[in-house]
Structure 1
């Protein structure tokens, strides 16, 4: 298991707990901060990313998807636990979204045991990166500018703040 290391003490505690649970502590790999390009290059070495339940990956999930690493997530009931589901939908891989811990575990084991499935998803990620809305910076920027214009026009007309919906054309 590959984990982010912020504090050496936390890493040592996790290794101790792994050993108590009968897991070889050397199976836990800890990695610290790197410059963005090196970080993305390192992520490409992973086969699969397992998202956290209560508070999903945000930047981490985006980085994994950009690097072509499939992410399995459990969709929750509040914003912080639904981010990865939104990202996976935007990149065209809703089949990696689960709805129960049991479904999450089953999918994670299935993918970890199926190199061909992982390779297929990896290829989809690389292709979808160029065609799906998740990484379409130009469209995002255009739509954000449209939203700002709608907000500004609403303000100039003296109306109360309201929901803004930007429709792709």
Structure 2
């Protein structure tokens, strides 16, 4: 009823059951864009979406809890997906929804960033972390 009262066809809302992590991540392939919440932004779910190749649109706020998704975008070189306010959020979401080429370009930049960003370099992280632990154990 809440959706209908806001002009949203409830049939467009899909609530999915919990799945094992690989299947959960695979769901993001069916989404064009992850619309982040405000003022408390996504944290792990934004990371999951980005890892799965789904761009995240967010309006970072003033607190840590409101800046995680924006920080992830920043470290992936997707600062254009961090908007200043609600009006820019709506305009950007509609713009990307109406411009498949622009959305494809964002998705392409995300795909490229996943191969070059330290944020997605699990082997590099593991190596650095192991070196840190060795250094600490030698002290």
Is this a same-fold pair by TM over 0.5? yes
Instruction: Return 5+ residue gaps in structure 2 as ranges.
Output: none
Give the structure 1 partner of residue 102 of structure 2: 117
**Structure holding more strand per residue:** 1
1:74-130 C-alpha deviation (Å, 9 max, x unpaired): 111111100001100111111100111111111111111111111111122122111
Shift of 1:138: 2.7
1:128 equivalent in structure 2: 113
Using the size of structure 1 for normalisation, the TM-score is 0.74
DSSP-derived class of the 1:86 partner: helix
| Structure showing greater Rg | 1
Deviations 1:49-80 (A, max 9, x none): 10011211111111111111111001111111
Question: For 2:37 and 2:134, how far apart are their aligned partners in 1?
Answer: 37
Query: Which fold has the larger relative contact order, with Cα–Cα distance below 8 Å and residues 6 or more apart in sequence?
Result: 2
Q: TM-score, normalised by structure 2?
A: 0.88
**Distance in structure 1 (CA, Å) of the matches to 2:107 and 2:25:** 15
Match of 2:86 among 95, 98, 101: 101
What is the number of residues matched between the two proteins? 139
Within 5 Å, give how 1:27-66 maps onto structure 2.
27-66=12-51
1:20 counterpart residue number: 5
1:22 aligned counterpart, secondary structure: coil
Q: Which runs of 5+ in 1 are unaligned?
A: 1-15, 157-169
Structure 1 residues 116 and 137, CA gap change in structure 2 (3 angstroms): same
Hey, which of these two has a bigger chunk of helix by percent? 2
The 1-side partners of 2:73 and 2:88 are apart by: 16
Structure 2 counterpart of 1:71, from 28, 33, 56: 56
